[in-house]
């Protein structure tokens, strides 16, 4: 391999024909490598002579000039690390400077959630004059009222529900049981469904609470399909998932002053670290409300 073009061409062929990488993956590797070579050309650097210090400046370029997020930078580093490992194996270079470069910390993604008014709009969609509409309303109300995972939701049996105490026995991760409570809105929707729509749907005398039109237990995929249909009938410009409603449950509890340990137990988290991510959401929300409504903060806020 006498020049950079040959090196790149042979490496991409190696990925495609020896490593059996998909066309999409090889294309992404190609983009990352050519972008890197554009940078080297601009800086007057030779690809087989770069040092660790050169790569530090490259990372600064990606972060400060390109404004790449950490996950994008990590992907590019992975592409180039593999490329330079190949060059070292082929004796094109004597050492691999990318072996000294570590990945960046992943960008912390805050949980997405619905505002109260958005949830109200969702609750208005199901047609409660039909069995499926009654089921869909209970599905929405129960996801939000209890914060259960979708896998836990579809496994709820009617025998798990204490109607009088308005609570449900949930079988969570690791077969651990916990009790979740639900409120009056969910209770009203549930009672209406159990005494009407559920009877019509339950042709096979199932004990599962959520049934499809054939009387079989609803699947996780089925729940996601129902939610996708519901949000299309609203003005909400957000994607929807069962987990997003779970995030809404946790975020709204903390916004209303619930303590973190209680939210942890209600969500069924093994570690409180998993629950702490919601404190970042509520902190940002408090900051937003403060700057929007406190006049002196509006004047002095430079953020």
State the catalytic residues.
149, 173, 243, 246, 269, 278
Q: How far does CA 213 lie from the centroid of its chain?
A: 29
Half-sphere exposure of 6 (CA within 13 A, CB side): 5
Q: CA 213 → CA 33, 92, 139, 163, 190, distances in Å?
A: 52, 64, 14, 24, 17
* Both structure tokens of 176: 């651990």
Residue with structure tokens 């869909």?
A: 136
Query: How far from 268 is each of 17, 210, 287, CA to CA, in Å?
Result: 46, 21, 28
Residues contacting 46, CB < 8 A, separation 6+: 40
CA–CA distance from 167 to each of 183, 192, 279 (Å)? 9, 17, 26
Residue the block writes with tokens 């949830």? 119
CB burial readout 274-294, b (16+ within 10 A) else e: ebeebeebbeeeeeeeeeeee
DSSP character at residue 208? B
Structure tokens at 157: 């049996």
Kindly state the tokens that stand for 75. Answer: 């992907």
Distances in whole angstroms, Cα of residue 183 to Cα of each of 89, 123, 165, 166, 253: 64, 15, 10, 7, 13
| E-assigned strand segments in the chain | 161-162, 167-171, 177-181
Q: Tokens in use for 161?
A: 């529900």
């Amino acid at each position: 391999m006498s020049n950079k073009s040959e090196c790149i061409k042979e490496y991409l062929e190696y990925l495609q024909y020896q490593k059996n990488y998909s066309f999409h993956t090889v294309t992404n590797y190609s983009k990352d490598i050519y972008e890197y070579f554009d940078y080297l050309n601009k800086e007057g650097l030779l690809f087989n002579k770069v040092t660790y210090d050169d790569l530090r400046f490259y990372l600064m370029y990606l972060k400060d000039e390109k404004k790449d997020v950490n996950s994008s930078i990590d992907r590019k580093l992975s592409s180039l690390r593999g490329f330079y490992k190949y060059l070292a194996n082929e004796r094109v270079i004597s050492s691999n400077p990318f072996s000294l470069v570590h990945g960046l910390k992943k960008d912390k993604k805050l949980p997405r959630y619905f505002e109260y008014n958005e949830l109200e709009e969702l609750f208005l969609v199901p047609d409660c004059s039909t069995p499926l509409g009654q089921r869909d309303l209970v599905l929405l109300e129960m996801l939000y009222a209890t914060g259960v995972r979708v896998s836990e939701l579809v496994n709820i049996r009617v025998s798990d529900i204490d109607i009088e105490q308005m609570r449900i026995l949930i079988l969570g991760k690791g077969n651990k049981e916990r009790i979740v409570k639900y409120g009056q809105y969910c209770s009203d929707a549930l009672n209406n469904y159990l005494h009407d729509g559920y009877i019509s749907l339950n042709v096979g005398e199932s004990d599962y609470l959520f049934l499809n039109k054939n009387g079989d237990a609803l699947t996780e995929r089925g729940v996601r399909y129902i939610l996708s249909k519901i949000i299309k009938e609203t003005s909400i410009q957000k994607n929807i998932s069962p987990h997003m409603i779970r995030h809404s449950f946790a975020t709204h509890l903390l916004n209303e002053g619930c303590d973190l340990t209680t939210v942890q137990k209600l969500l069924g988290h093994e570690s409180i670290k998993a629950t702490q991510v919601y404190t970042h959401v509520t902190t940002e929300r408090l900051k937003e409300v403060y700057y929007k409504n406190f006049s002196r903060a509006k004047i002095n806020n430079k953020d």
